[in-house]
Amino acid sequence: MSKKIFHMKIKRIFCGALAVGMLLGQTSSVLAEAVSSPTPTPNPHTEYYAQAADTDSIEGWPTGPQIEAQSAVLMDLNSEAILYSKNADTQLYPASITKLLTCLLGCENLDTSAQITLSQQAAYGIEAGSSTIYGDAGEVFTVEQALMGLMLESANEMALAIGEEVSGSVKKFVELMNARAQQLGCTNTHFNNPNGLPDETHVTTANDMAKIAKAAWQNATCRKFFTTDLYEIPPTNVFTETRYLLNHHKMMAGRDYAYDGVLGGKTGYTDAAGATLVTYAKRGNMLLVAVVMNSVNGAWSDTKSLLDYGFDNFERQRIKVSMNPVPKENLPSEKYLLNNCGNTYPFYYTKNIYVTVPIGTDVKTLTRKQRVLSNAVGPLRLKSKYYFNGQMVGWGMQYERSILANLLTVPGA
């Protein structure tokens, strides 16, 4: 038996025992010892613990918690309001939370029922001792199985395999990663591999990771892979045993640091990056994502503090908007081109607008800024953003009632 297969069997035995315990609602005494102790508090605290959150400077904003992490962001996914921000634009090593983008690109470009055959480079091109499900060269998996291995067990060889399958090579896939990150609005990110293993040029920020996390959540297929708790890969053409995959996020229900409302996320750790963690949580009508970078002890305690802060201090409120059209002034020259040019050009709301604000806020006091967005095809859009003392807390979109072509004056009419 090869050393690689031996290690896989040991891991299978452990994961299988844990899976059975979870399914039966029981845990062996050995496993109980492994999960019963709370996250230890550093003594002394990290050098970042006493640093105030950047959002503390907003007048009337709830004071944020002290956390051990160097950088963090807490965002409401529905309104895109940033509730907590600390060194959010500082470039840091992300470690395995990189895989959120790898998973998203896999879901956007591959059929999850299709098959992947691991290349020699994918199977053996990862750092010794790093996270793996011990996939072997020539072993065949479905794309779904590869993505589950990627997100639940943080399998680095699966990141390489997915990159090769999407783009033909890891190098080309990395180019796609950076292009997609830029498309999502990331301004301080440069990825150099699909798994997050140490690389001096592989950096991102908490702000940018929040944007990637939002895009990953909005893709329903991708969402499945980081909210699944337990998954089985049956025997393959190479490995004769069932692999049991268990989500490493320990704040999910029934886990070590279970937190009410946590839906899933992605863990990460390297010596260079420290603990990194992306966590999705929902309570009532609030859906939050917490991004923590360069923390300690898995970042569980920091994430709990952030989620407590978000759920305890903020609420989602509906903006009462008039359903009447909002005018857009036309140019003087357009009176020769457009019908009824003496009238204004109307925009209409198509859905309700919500903001995330400190509890008790009178939304009538919010400031609104509006901008007409250009559109190559179809109706123009009017985007309205709402601000609490300069902090964006929500937005809404209005669309033209009629497109320009319908308003053109017909010659001779």
pLDDT value, residue 128:
82
Give CA 241 to chain center in angstroms.
33
Taking only the tens place, the pLDDT of each residue in 352-379 is: 899 999 999 999 999 999 888 877 777 7
DSSP state of 272: T
Question: What is each CA distance from 306 to 68, 85, 206, 283, 389, in whole angstroms?
Answer: 11, 10, 14, 14, 21
- 356, two tokens: 């995330």
- Non-local (6+) Cβ contacts of 292 within 8 A are 67, 69, 71, 72, 206, 275, 276, 277, 278, 279, 299, 302, 303, 306
The residue-averaged pLDDT of 303-316 equals 98
What pLDDT does 338 receive? 54
For residue 17, give the amino acid letter: A
Q: Are 334 and 345 in contact (CB under 8 A)?
A: no
Instruction: Report pTM.
Output: 0.86
Of 12-21, 284-293, 314-323, highest mean pLDDT: 284-293
**CA–CA dist 327, 348 (Å, integer):** 10
CB contact at 8 A, 393 and 369: no
Mean pLDDT of the chain: 86
- Residue 58's nearest CA partner among 391, 346, 406, 302 is 391
Higher-scoring residue by pLDDT: 404, 118: 118
Based on the number of CB atoms within 10 Å of its own CB, is 168 exposed (0-12), middle (13-18) or buried (19 or more)?
Answer: exposed
The one-letter amino acid at 273: A
For position 325, what pLDDT does the model report?
59
- The string of pLDDT tens digits covering residues 195-226 is 999 999 999 999 999 999 999 999 999 999 99
Residue-wise pLDDT for 275-309, tens only, equals 999 999 999 999 999 999 999 999 999 999 999 99
